[in-house]
């Protein structure tokens, strides 16, 4: 009987870029920590993804390949790899990302030695389409406070200031048993942030101050409606729209409400959620006013230009 792997890498994949997929799998198999598994859930790809994954599975028994009979949507496929995994620790990873060879060993070592933490992050960089690499280190407070309301304030501060990339609580190694206590990824607005909020409500995160993870920047504004349909399972993607952030705030508050906390502890978390809501509303109002002002300027310019042409 095979022993439980110490770590599971969960790889949800659909029509991956073959070059990137090779780079990712090679980087995982090059980890200096040997006791791990790679759980692949192929969402009915119709390019060369299946052949590549199966070839790696034949070469190394630590690679486990599963193929869905039909496309179950990106969210369900992310949850599928978690369901199929059996490691003590778990880490989602994208098909176009890659890791340094000592990533797993350094992260697992710190979790093995510190039971009070449920997850561990590292620095990461982002490679853009034009080859530009964005990297930034953050030296301030993180999510390691034993006080829940302090962790909540800090997490929401990262969201509000755009620093979420340096404190990613989703693409990081965490205790699988804790992740299984959550509602996983759901068809709700800002699903990754809602899950991150739920995880932070369950425990503390520590950090390895080294750039051990590499990701490719996804230009989400360029994603077509057809691709959204494929990713999120047809019309369901419309449930993810939340331009004012109100549903996200309500979901975060519901997590606090259902947590085994005293009324006082819950009340300490509420101001952070209200602050996030007001910040999101202000940004949306400001954005709308700028858009309207721009349209007015263009209209005035066209009218003035038309008048000049008629005069001449």
pLDDT digits (tens, 9 = 90+) for 204-244: 999 999 999 999 987 655 565 556 555 655 556 666 777 77
Question: Using one digit for the tens of pLDDT, what is the confidence trace for 50-61?
Answer: 999 999 999 999
Q: What's the whole-model pTM score?
A: 0.86
CB 276 within 8 A of CB 249: yes
Same-domain status, 111 and 255: no
Confidence of residue 3 (pLDDT cuts 50, 70, 90): confident
Q: Tokens 């002002």 belong to which residue?
A: 293
Concatenate the DSSP letters of all residues of 249-301 into one string. Answer: HHHHHHHHHHSS--HHHHHHHHHHHHHHHHHHHHHHHHHHHHHHHHHHHHHHH
Arithmetic mean of pLDDT, 246-266: 93
Residues 133 and 258 in one domain: no
Domain end position, chosen among 173, 199, 225: 225
**Mean pLDDT over residues 111-116, rounded?**
98
**With contact defined as beta carbons under 8 Å apart, do 208 and 155 qualify?**
no
Number of domains in the chain: 2
Asked, for residue 233, whether it belongs to a domain, the answer is no
Do residue 199 and residue 275 come from a single domain? Answer: no
- Domain that includes residue 248, residue range: 242-311
To the nearest whole number, what is the mean pLDDT of the chain?
89
């Amino acid at each position: 009987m095979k022993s439980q792997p110490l770590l599971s890498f969960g790889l949800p994949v659909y029509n991956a870029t073959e070059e990137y997929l090779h780079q990712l799998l090679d980087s995982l198999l090059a980890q200096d920590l040997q006791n791990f598994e790679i759980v692949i859930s192929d969402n009915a790809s119709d390019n060369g993804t299946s052949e590549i994954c199966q070839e790696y599975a034949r070469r190394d028994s630590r690679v486990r390949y599963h193929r869905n009979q039909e496309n179950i949507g990106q969210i369900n496929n992310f949850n599928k790899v978690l369901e199929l995994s059996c490691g003590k620790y778990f880490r989602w990873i994208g098909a176009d990302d890659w890791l340094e060879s000592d990533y797993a060993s350094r992260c697992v070592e710190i979790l093995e030695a510190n039971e009070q933490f449920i997850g561990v992050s590292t620095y990461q960089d982002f490679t853009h389409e034009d080859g530009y690499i964005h990297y930034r280190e953050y030296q301030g407070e993180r999510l390691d406070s034993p006080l829940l309301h302090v962790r909540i304030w800090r997490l929401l501060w990262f969201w509000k200031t755009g620093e979420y990339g340096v404190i990613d609580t989703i693409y990081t190694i965490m205790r699988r048993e804790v992740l299984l206590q959550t509602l996983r990824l759901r068809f709700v607005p800002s699903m990754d942030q809602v899950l991150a909020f739920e995880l932070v409500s369950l425990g503390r995160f520590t950090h390895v101050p080294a750039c051990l993870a590499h990701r490719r920047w996804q230009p989400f504004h360029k994603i077509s409606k057809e691709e959204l349909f494929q990713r999120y399972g047809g019309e369901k993607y419309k449930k993810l729209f939340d331009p004012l952030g109100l549903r996200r705030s309500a979901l975060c508050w519901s997590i606090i409400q259902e947590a085994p906390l005293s009324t006082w502890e819950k009340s300490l978390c509420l101001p952070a959620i209200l602050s996030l809501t007001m910040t999101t509303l202000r940004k949306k109002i400001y954005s709308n006013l700028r858009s309207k002002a721009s349209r007015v300027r263009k209209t005035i310019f066209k009218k003035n230009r038309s008048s000049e042409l008629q005069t001449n």
